[in-house]
Amino acid sequence: MRVVVFDLDGTLVDSIGEILESFSATARAFGLPFEEAAVRALIGRPLRETFRRLYPGEDPDPLVAFYREHHLAHLGERARPYPGVERVLGELRAAGFPLAVATTKRTATARRLLLRVGLFSFFDHVQGTDGGMAPKPAPDVVVAAARAAGGRPGWMVGDTALDLRAGRAAGARVYAVTWGAGSPEALAALAPDRLEPTLDALPEALGLARAKGNG
């Protein structure tokens, strides 16, 4: 079975604002500068790596701990599925596609967010980078998500260059959506199989429109 694997933040769920606020709160708590553009460019990377890049010379562990506490305390307060996501996921489920999530978040946190925004039931498996799993752009989390959902990665759907590179490394085709953290220009430079402003074109990319048209 070819599994459709999705990134979470910025792809399925409009949660970038919550992520930025948690980074901003962390910076304020430790008396550090906060630059939104710099943080946006690093969304999707592991927290320790992100804080090391943002604040060289700072011990990242207290920053990571504060961020996680703040983020969990406010998880899902403002986040919502992007327009049309529930409809598209429903179409894919009805057509028999196995669906999975592959995210840099911890698995428990990702599941909690999906439950809060009403998307959890659409997925066969939710996979985070727990237990030392290599993060994107390594393919590990994409492959693990697809295997747990019963197959191999067929498509990787994401909003950052990390998602696209991980999908390609996993042997999947890649669908880039431009409503998340990644810039359209940066995504286009990687020549994804599909570059779209929303998920609306995903069923057609998977052949559903063609199949219906052929009766």
Q: Is 7 a catalytic residue?
A: yes
Q: Is 9 a catalytic residue?
A: yes
Query: Is 213's pLDDT higher than 50?
Result: no
9, 14, 140, 163: which is the annotated catalytic residue? Answer: 9
Last residue of a domain, one of 36, 57, 73: 73
Q: 32-57 burial, b if ≥16 CB within 10 A, otherwise e?
A: eeeeeeebbbbbbbbbeebbbebbee
Domain of 36, CATH number, reads: 1.10.150
Q: How far is CA 194 from the centre of its chain?
A: 17
Q: What is the pTM of this model?
A: 0.91
> What is the span of the domain harbouring residue 130?
2-14+81-213
Please tell me whether residue 12 adopts helix, strand or coil conformation: coil
Residues 194 and 173 in one domain: yes
Query: How confident is residue 1, by pLDDT bands cut at 50, 70 and 90?
Result: confident
Among the residue ranges 3-7, 40-44, 78-82, 176-180, the one predicted with the least confidence is: 40-44
Instruction: Report the percent of the chain where pLDDT is more than 90.
Output: 89
Compute the average pLDDT of residues 145-170. Answer: 97
The pLDDT value given to residue 211: 40
Domain of 9, CATH number, reads: 3.40.50.1000
